Amino acid sequence: MFYLDFLAETHRRLKPSAYLEIGVDVGHSLALADCPSIGVDPDFRIEAELDQRVALFRTLSDEYFDRPDPLAPTGGIPFELSFIDGLHLFEFALRDLIVAERHSAARGVVILDDVLPRTVDESSRERHTVAWTGDVFRVVEALSRYRPELVLLPLDTSPTGLLMVLGLDPTSTVLVDHYDEIMAELRRPDPQEVPVEILDRTSVISPERLLQAGVLEALSELPSQSTHAEVSEVIPQLVAARLGPGFVASAA
Ligand SMILES: C[S@@+](CC[C@H](N)C(=O)[O-])C[C@H]1O[C@@H](n2cnc3c(N)ncnc32)[C@H](O)[C@@H]1O
């Protein structure tokens, strides 16, 4: 399934009250939003028709989230869906995930693009290919090691895979507290050593299976004010029951 088709289904089934997109470009993915939304990109060139409730910011994601009230454009509604597709370098993608989670509802969903490079060349930090994932795939390992309570669902979408992150904790400071350590441990110079399981897509979920399992509809039925403690009781069991225990660390 093409990533935009999966994102369209995600919007339709989750019905988020607020949406964040980091990395907008011409607006193909942002055009799927049907709620108060924030799009951040220093170099967007909109060609798609956007909902009137979309607020666009021509700036870097780090700068946008330095402002005192990043949720002002949504009227204070925390993000229930975020799509991270900005600069394809490990440290940028990790920081984007940190700020997205901080301003999300606990029942919210964060989706990262480009976690499944198809070749080592495509995963280089120094871009030299047309299609480029950079080393964003390293975010998956960072989250598995430092945030094992999160539910991580790698999705076999074309062209370069998505990672769906559930069970968010907007109060967590673990990734910020360990940021330097994570970079020292996991960031590597080119050429990248991409695990063969990533190149072969051996531990991924088919997007069709995730959609058929009704996980997004079940998330949309959780109370919007649910706390992290409440969702962390429900989401791992929900995912294990519908997709099997393999994607939930606490059930493994
Ligand atoms: C792959 S494109 C986004 C495509 C879009 N999400 C879609 O699917 O149609 C990546 C975008 O990220 C933007 N970008 C690069 N660095 C960024 C940063 N630090 N913060 C936000 N956006 C960034 C680029 O300007 C580019 O438009």
Q: Are 2 and 160 in contact (CB under 8 A)?
A: no
Are 182 and 130 in contact, with CB atoms under 8 Å apart? no
6 Cβ partners below 8 Å, 6+ apart? 155, 157, 162, 207, 211
Q: Ligand 1: which of 2, 24, 38 to mutate, judged by most atoms within 8 Å of the beta carbon?
A: 24
Give distance in angstroms: CA of 27 to centre of ligand 1.
Answer: 10
User: Of all atoms in ligand 1, which is nearest to the CA of residue 60?
Assistant: 20
Q: Give the span between the Cα atoms of 124 and 104, in whole angstroms.
A: 30
Q: How would you write the pLDDT of the chain (252 residues) with one tens digit per residue?
A: 999 999 999 999 999 999 999 999 999 999 999 999 999 999 999 999 999 999 999 999 999 999 999 999 999 999 999 999 999 999 999 999 999 999 999 999 999 999 999 999 999 999 999 999 999 999 999 999 999 999 999 999 999 999 999 999 999 999 999 999 999 999 999 999 999 999 999 999 999 999 999 999 999 999 999 999 999 999 999 999 999 888 776 654
HSE-CB at 46 with a 13 A cutoff on CA atoms is 14
Q: What global pTM score does this model have?
A: 0.97
Distance 239 CA to ligand 1 centre (A): 30
Residue spans of alpha helices (H) in 147-214: 174-177, 179-186, 196-200, 207-212
CA 4 to ligand 1: nearest atom: 8
99 lines ligand 1 (CB under 6 A): no
pLDDT for position 106: 98
- Per DSSP, the three-state class of 22 is strand
Rg value, the chain, Cα: 17
Instruction: Please indicate whether residue 85, judged by its CB atom, sits closer than 6 Å to ligand 1.
Output: yes
- What pLDDT is recorded for position 252? 46
- The conformation of residue 76, written as its DSSP 8-state character, comes to T
Phi, psi for 189 (deg, rounded to 5)? -70, 160
The Cα–Cα gap between 175 and 161 comes to 23
User: pLDDT for 64-95, tens place per residue?
Assistant: 999 999 999 999 999 999 999 999 999 999 99
Neighbours of 202 (CB within 10 A): 9
User: What is the reported pLDDT for 246?
Assistant: 80
- Show Cβ contacts of residue 225 under 8 Å, excluding neighbours closer than 6 positions: none
Structure tokens at 95: 């920081």
Tell me how far apart the 2 most distant CA atoms of the chain are, in Å: 46
Give the closest residue to 82 by CA, choosing from 70, 91, 90: 70
Cα 22 to middle of ligand 1, angstroms: 6
